[in-house]
Amino acid sequence: MKDMMKETEEKVNIHKKSRRRLHAAVISVLVVISILCLYLLQRLVMPKYAKGIVEGAFAAEYYKETTDHDVIFIGDCEVYENFSPITLYEEYGITSYIRGGPQQLIWHSYYQLEDTLRYEKPKVVVFNVLSLKYNEPQSESYNRMNIDGLKWSKTKYDMIQASMMEEESFVEYLFPLLRYHSRITDLKKSDFEYLFDTPHVSHNGYYMRVDVKPAADFPDPPQLVSYDFGDTAMLYLDKMTKLCKENGIELILIKAPVLYPYWYPEWDQNVKDYAEANDLKYINFIDLADEIGIDYSQDTYDAGLHLNLSGAEKLSSYFGQYLKEEYDLEDHRTDPVYQEAYAEKIEFYEAMKQQQYDELEQYGKIISFGAEAIED
């Protein structure tokens, strides 16, 4: 009798155990499916920056590069709208990439550089100094555009920590679904189209615009209480200088030749002093606009804030000559690897140029780019 009871008990226990195992297996499968589902939703709701404000796509686009670069540009719209890496290649065989971003603040730039060094070691780094005027995070949306596209690494973690506004949360960078969830009711065609792959919108980080809007008068610049750059901004400039020196990279400080935002002579002097003290090159292109041949009635698409394609090509042509002379950069035009890669890039460059001219002709304005772009 006892044996029978024991046997029954054992059977019950075995049954319970196998039931528990089955439950665990079912739950495991369900958890995996749930995580997959959340991941897909995250991909779906994250902005694709395929049309209109495409600048948010720049950060991720870098990782698609198949060749390395001799020159890396870092900075805000004053680099990614004013320099054309394709011109630098076509005219001088210089390979370059702009790791720029909208309102890229100096800590963004620093970490973009740090991230770049994880993949390649350029000979020259060009940093546009306008962002020195900001000492604190400015905007969540620009933070997102500069950070979201970066691959996960300690650099990205540090960049987020340095960049977050008070109302932002690290968790929402880690799980962007939590930040962009409300887009679920406002999805566009491109959200499905680019679910797994971000669109290609730049030319080695260059944002092309072929339209023309002559420079206008800007308001007189206000007088500032202090013309010194902030401590945080200077700290990151020091870090950038140190990082370049440690890696044997030439750091060039530049100020792009645009008319607005106003670049104060006092700021200019501060940068000159810094460059001199740290044995760096500093080029203020505003002073060289005539020598470059920039015509502000023809070479800007937004009344003097940024250059258009014509202006960018002129500036790149001028700067390319300088880079060639000063840094003895190799001409990669004869290298088959680069030839193949750049043939594709040039084709894309020309196609976009044509597309924009066509849009201009048809609609009187460019409809694929900019804040007024029409998205499906």
Residues near other proteins (CB under 8 A)? 23, 26-27, 30, 34, 37-38, 41, 140, 167-169, 171-172, 177-179, 181-182, 184-185
Closest approach of Cβ 370 to other proteins, in Å?
23
Closest approach of Cβ 55 to other proteins, in Å?
19
Handedness of CA 344, 346, 347, 349 (dihedral sign): positive
Q: Based on CB atoms, which residue is closest to other proteins, 167 or 279?
A: 167
Closest approach of Cβ 180 to other proteins, in Å?
9
Q: Which residues lie closer than 8 Å to 2 by C-beta, 6 or more apart?
A: none
Question: What's the rounded Cα separation, in Å, for the pair 73 and 99?
Answer: 6
Q: Based on CB atoms, which residue is closest to other proteins, 185 or 226?
A: 185
CB crowding 153-169: b at 16 or more within 10 Å, else e: eebbeebbebbbeeebe
Question: What's the rounded Cα separation, in Å, for the pair 255 and 270?
Answer: 13
| Six token digits for residue 6 | 């024991």
Q: Based on CB atoms, which residue is closest to other proteins, 99 or 179?
A: 179
Q: Based on CB atoms, which residue is closest to other proteins, 184 or 337?
A: 184
Question: What's the rounded Cα separation, in Å, for the pair 157 and 147?
Answer: 10
Closest approach of Cβ 299 to other proteins, in Å?
37
Closest approach of Cβ 27 to other proteins, in Å?
6
Closest approach of Cβ 36 to other proteins, in Å?
12
Closest approach of Cβ 245 to other proteins, in Å?
38
Neighbour order of strands in the sheet with 71-75? 96-100, 71-75, 124-128, 250-255, 281-284
β-bridge mates for residue 255, sequence order: 284
Residue 319: count of CB within 10 angstroms of its CB: 27
| CA 315, chain centre distance (Å) | 20
Residue 373: count of CB within 10 angstroms of its CB: 16
Q: Based on CB atoms, which residue is closest to other proteins, 40 or 337?
A: 40
- The torsion angles phi and psi of 83, rounded to 5 degrees, stand at -125, 135
Q: Based on CB atoms, which residue is closest to other proteins, 182 or 226?
A: 182
| Six token digits for residue 25 | 């297996």
Q: Based on CB atoms, which residue is closest to other proteins, 45 or 292?
A: 45
Q: Based on CB atoms, which residue is closest to other proteins, 46 or 259?
A: 46
Closest approach of Cβ 326 to other proteins, in Å?
45
> Which alpha helices (DSSP H) does 194-335 contain, by range?
231-246, 265-277, 289-292, 309-327
